[in-house]
Amino acid sequence: MFGLAFAVAAAVAFSINAPLAYAATRRGASPTALVAVRNVVAAAVLAPFADFKISQGALLAVVLSSIFGPGLGDYFYFKAMKNSGVATAVTIGYTYIFTAQLFSAAIEGERIKAGALLGSALAFAGVATALGGRPTGRGVLYGVATSLSWGMASALLGAAAREATPYTIAAVRAAVLIPPFLALARGIGRPGLVYAALSGVVGLAAGTLAFVNAIAQIGVAPTVITTSLTPLLSQVFDRAINKSPISPKYIMGALLVSLGIASAVMIN
């Protein structure tokens, strides 16, 4: 059950990361500077614990996962939000819990289990209930691109997890994005820098480390299903911090996702 605990920890870390990143942008951090600082901090935190013993194949998988995940995947996700709103981005983007399993089966031969399929359906229903809407506009295409990119990134991490430690994978993954985004980054003020650094520690260092540990122990399918809690928890944390009432639809969505997680873990 340690693998499930790591997956839940990843979902919590990713959900806390969202308001931290948003706070950084509100305080003057450009998107490129935010990504650069986050990855510099994450790499610095993780490097002392990494042994950097990694095969060429695993290294290639990690580099590609970095490009597809926090690179292209997040870019398409933000474009989907900009073009068609949060509902479309979340509803289409989080179908990655299905594409990740398909890519994992193709790349690693990971068997798609009945429990994982049922869990994916329940988890997606939970996300759609809480945050979804009718997908419209050009954001639909960006949402599909998000799903494919995140799904591929997760499957590639699963392949790398067989040949390197989670610390090494997380450290290398962060380091890959530093040069291009440092080159593109504009200035960042001290208030924005603080929140960007916190985002790097929580979202990238802790979140990625927990995510890779979960994949290594319980596989891609249960891990990505569990992390579908992320958008719901982000809303809950945001409302708790701002003392806003929590809508019943978030509670219903969380219950459906929880049932999905239980199905993925308990049904073979």
Q: pLDDT digit string (tens) for 136-152? A: 778 888 989 999 999 99
Question: Which pLDDT belongs to residue 211?
Answer: 93
Question: Which pLDDT belongs to residue 19?
Answer: 79
Instruction: Please give the Cα distance from 192 to 51 (Å, whole number).
Output: 32
Classify residue 93 by burial, with Cβ atoms within 10 Å: 0-12, 13-18, 19+. Answer: buried
How far, in Å, are 66, 155, 157, 220 from residue 109 at the CA level? 21, 10, 14, 11
Residue 191 makes CB contacts below 8 A (sequence gap 6+) with 27, 28
| Domain coordinates in residue numbering, the chain | 2-266
Instruction: Please give the Cα distance from 162 to 231 (Å, whole number).
Output: 28
More confident residue, 185 or 154: 154
Token pair in block for residue 72? 């292209």
| pTM, to two decimals | 0.84
Average pLDDT over residues 154-165: 92
Classify residue 48 by burial, with Cβ atoms within 10 Å: 0-12, 13-18, 19+. Answer: exposed
Q: What is the pLDDT of residues 33-89, one digit of tens each?
A: 888 888 899 999 999 999 999 999 999 999 999 999 888 888 888 788 778 776 677
SS3 94: coil
